[in-house]
Amino acid sequence: MIRRRPGWFGVALGAALAVALTFLVLPIVAIFVDAGPGRLLAALDDDASLDALRLSALTTAIALAIIVAVGTPAAYLLATRSFPGRAVVITLVELPLVLPPAVAGIGLLAALGPKGLLGGVLEDAGVELVFQTAGVVVALCFVASPFYLRQAQAAFAALDPRWLEASRTLGASEAATFARVAIPAARPGLVAGLALAWGRALGEFGATLMFAGSLQEVTQTAPLRIYDGFAEDFTGALALSGVLVAVSAAILLAVKLMDATEPLGRAAR
Amino acid sequence: MRVRMRSAVGVVAALAIGLGLASCGDDDDGGGAAGGPLVVSAATSLKGALTDYGETLDPRPRAQFAGSDELAAQIRQGVKPDVFASANTKLPDALHREGLVEQPRVFAGNRLVLAVPTDGGRVRSLDDLDDAGVKLAIGSETVPIGSYTRKVLARLGAARNAAILKNVRSNESNVGGVVGKLTQGAADAGFVYITDVKSASGRLRGIELPARLKPSAAYGVAVVKGAEHRDAAVRYIDALVSGAGQAELREKGFEPAP
């Protein structure tokens, strides 16, 4: 970069950044400062909060496992094959990225609720989602999977097609090429997508509340506990928020570090 | 803070005019020295009645509806609506003791009923609530509807109370959540106000509770201290307690203040 003396434009840019930074960081700082670290830690020692964190860990883990199992081959197909309507399919699977959570919640109710499109089918099959932990997982998958699909598709698309061809010429089957060549080569992108999906799932609130309800140990994840608790126990809600901030920051940092180290790692290979 | 904010807005507006751009000033006058409409924070169960009441007023107040406990928490965090209308008297009284609102007044009563979806047949009376597999959605403990519900259940005796609470599948953060879970057929029954059954346009059926169980739900309203539109807030509450507001409340099924 060329260093030059800042003119008025440079000052304006700096001011804009300062405004943005202050605005974005202030609420996060306030979470930790408002009550102080000691009281925050003490407030975390609460059954409902601990149950909520445990449930959040469990449901996001299950949701991510499902997302990876289904999303990886789906993204591979989208990235490596062309077929009529591909652009439409990509748009459709990315749509939940921009949907308001309340829309996701009401959509899930309309589709999978007892009176929903598939409500009768699910009931006959003995599958219950509303008010169940499984319902939380469904809501998480719905809102978080597009993050993974998008990233995974980009990662597969960025692979050099000659590698895949070479693998096939050497006699590996399509499946073996996918498992042994494509996935390892695309791994950094897949992991980044996974982290983003995790972050989104961890923060999911509206769709869960509308579709799965809110009950301690069953459907009350950490964000729902924060909402339920803030009226009565503001410090407790702050403490739980602090945990989510810390975990989300760790996820983001991990993704950044992976981004930063990857080109070097690739060059060394 | 607010003053500085407004002067900043003023500077921007002046610049906009200076540049020959279209400018928009204050939309309406709240009837006081301060700009903007009267701001009302009210319990979810008041939505129908206060919306209709608001439409009779000029300028129309801006009302936001949520669980009374959440609105009280906002006021404790420094949010200043002009009027706070709660589905109980406990929260306005508490805020009054904390010096955050003026003397609260009771303006309406409501009746708790057991509500079931019109097309649902699983629950026909209170006796069915502890049947195996019955799904209940009730208000969470902190919101008035939830605390009234727990009072009713406690009066059924410890054993039945525990058995019924086992069937609770969701603790909703306001009464609207309970209504939604019922009309969607997700829950078989829940406790709501009679006014909610009336405004659900036929999708809910209310089962009256025996008189010995009924908790008295009294609604309290107060002017928030430091309200920007204090005069308008006082007039709003006066008419709510004994004027045009009462007609709208009665229309929606509210009872006179107990």
Collect all residues of chain B within an 8 Å Cβ-Cβ radius of residue A230: 70, 73
Across chain B, what does the average pLDDT equal?
Answer: 85
pLDDT digit string (tens) for B9-26?
444 333 333 333 333 333
Q: Is the ipTM of this complex over 0.90?
A: no
Average pLDDT estimate for B54-75 = 90
pLDDT digits (tens), chain A, 269 positions: 566 677 899 999 999 999 999 999 999 999 998 878 888 888 888 888 999 999 999 999 999 999 999 999 999 999 999 899 999 999 999 999 889 888 999 899 899 988 889 988 998 998 989 889 999 999 999 999 999 999 999 999 999 888 888 888 888 888 999 999 999 999 999 999 999 999 999 999 989 988 998 888 899 999 999 988 777 788 888 999 999 999 999 988 888 887 666 544 343 33
Cβ contact, residue pair B73, A232, below 8 Å: yes
Residue B105 vs residue A2, higher pLDDT: B105
Q: Which of A115, A214, A230 sits opposite B185 (nearest CB)?
A: A115
Query: Sign of torsion, CA B182 B188 B192 B195?
Result: positive
pLDDT of residue A1: 55
Strands in B204-208's sheet, in edge-to-edge order, are B190-193, B112-117, B204-208
Best interface-test mutation with A: which of B116, B140, B165 has the largest number of A CBs within 10 A?
B140
Best interface-test mutation with B: which of A211, A214, A235 has the largest number of B CBs within 10 A?
A214
Burial class (CB in 10 A: 0-12, 13-18, 19+), B168: buried
Cα–Cα distance measured from residue B30 to residue B32, given in angstroms and rounded to the nearest whole number: 5
If DSSP codes are grouped into helix, strand and coil, which group holds residue B228?
A: coil
**C-alpha pair distances (Å), A165 with each of A80, A159, A187:** 12, 11, 19
Q: Does B166 touch chain A (CB under 8 A)?
A: no
C-alpha of B257 from chain center: 16
Collect all residues of chain B within an 8 Å Cβ-Cβ radius of residue A131: 135, 137, 169-170, 186-187
Average pLDDT estimate for B46-69 = 90
Cα–Cα distance measured from residue B187 to residue B204, given in angstroms and rounded to the nearest whole number: 12
Cβ contact, residue pair B72, A130, below 8 Å: no
Q: Does B118 touch chain A (CB under 8 A)?
A: no
Q: Does B175 touch chain A (CB under 8 A)?
A: no
Cβ contact, residue pair B186, A227, below 8 Å: no
What residue in B sits closest to A123 (Cα-Cα)? B186
Give the helix ranges, DSSP H, for chain A: 8-33, 37-44, 47-80, 86-94, 101-112, 119-124, 133-157, 161-169, 174-176, 183-203, 206-212, 222-229, 234-268
C-alpha of B92 from chain center: 12
Residue that the structure tokens 């928020």 belong to: A241
Q: CB of B221 within 8 A of CB of B83?
A: yes
Interface of A with B (CB under 8 A): 109, 113-115, 119, 130-131, 209-210, 213-216, 218-220, 227-228, 230-232, 234
Cα–Cα distance measured from residue B70 to residue B42, given in angstroms and rounded to the nearest whole number: 10
Collect all residues of chain A within an 8 Å Cβ-Cβ radius of residue B180: 210
pLDDT band at B113, cuts 50/70/90?
very high
Cβ contact, residue pair B171, A227, below 8 Å: no
